[in-house]
Amino acid sequence: MKCPKGGNFSNGELQRFGNIELSPSAGILNYGQGLFEGLKAYRKEDGHILLFRPEENALRMRLGAERMCMPSPTVEQFVEAVQATVLANKRWVPPFGKGSLYIRPLLMGSGAVLGLAPAPEYTFLIYVSPVGNYFKEGIAPIHLIVEHELHRATPGGTGGVKTIGNYAAVLKAQSAAKLKGYSDVLYLDCVHKKYLEEVSSCNIFVVKGNTISTPAIKGTILPGITRKSIIDVARKEGFQVEERLVAVDELLEADEVFVTGTAVVLSPVGSITYLGKRVSYGNEGVGGVSQELYSVLTRLQMGLIEDTLNWTVE
């Protein structure tokens, strides 16, 4: 669907997947006016398809659009467009337990603009792809390296919204980490260089006894929908959850560390390397807490337990 600057999106249409045409001076290509979302559709045992909290993605896109000077679809338009796209592609939703359909909504400044300014026209589109597990290890532990030179976000910047440029900013550190055999990079804050921020595409949690701590949302990390869901699930399961500044030193004392995100769902961290020192977590990181929370969340997402919180949409 399309929308002029300052206008509203009109209803969209379904098209076959294919290349799209853009002016070389489109706002997204020149000034990075682009935002995306990521969510998954799971097939239930009875064959029905479930979406997990799609209105949260819609709200996050609206917040991001405001920061990036873009109009955005309404929550209803967003959710309806996701549902229509999934319905049209339902044969691509993997069988129960065999993966999911990854859904990628994309909002961009598609109009041509030469001098620095918001684009005169915007396009919202959605494409989908069946996926298995994100990390090649599946739900097995991942191995992280703390990055102490490069940062993905600065206070006052755009780190808290899902804009395309944030991902270009992590490619260098992430590629270097992968070449060295790590699964991903853990970023620190750029002011004190001692507080945990997040991983390239997921949020981080540190477990110590009955307390689970996670960096607070303060504009430099993405407010993950899995993060928010895990906080609620953990509290319901009787854990104390703290959203606060979490110092990198706390990793040394932690019982377990895990990351959350739509792609990774919940992955335990087996080890973290910081300034050349490697901290490993017991049982290769697959601890009782990560296992318990993973199990509750995935059973909810796949429709295996009653959804008392109304998080899933058929």
Residue numbers at the binding site for ligand PMP (CB under 6 A): 38, 198, 201-203, 222, 224-227, 260-262
Distance CA 314, CA 293 (A): 23
User: Are the CB atoms for 197 and 170 separated by under 8 Å?
Assistant: no
Stated length of the chain? 314
Of the listed 90, 98, 136, 162, which one is catalytic?
162
Where would I find the beta strands (DSSP E) of the chain?
2-4, 34-36, 39-43, 49-52, 100-109, 121-131, 142-147, 184-188, 196-199, 203-208, 211-215, 240-244, 256-261, 265-274, 277-280, 312-313
Is 178 among the catalytic positions?
no
Smallest distance from ligand PMP to CB 39, Å = 8
Query: Nearer Cβ to ligand PMP, position 201 or 267?
Result: 201
Query: Nearer Cβ to ligand PMP, position 128 or 222?
Result: 222
Query: Nearer Cβ to ligand PMP, position 3 or 85?
Result: 85
Nearest residue to ligand PMP, scored by beta-carbon proximity: 224
Query: Nearer Cβ to ligand PMP, position 170 or 251?
Result: 170
Smallest distance from ligand PMP to CB 225, Å = 4
Residues with Cβ within 8 Å of 134's Cβ and at least 6 positions away in sequence, in order, are 261, 263, 264, 265, 267
Smallest distance from ligand PMP to CB 21, Å = 28
What three-state secondary structure class fits 203? strand
Smallest distance from ligand PMP to CB 223, Å = 8
Active site residues: 162
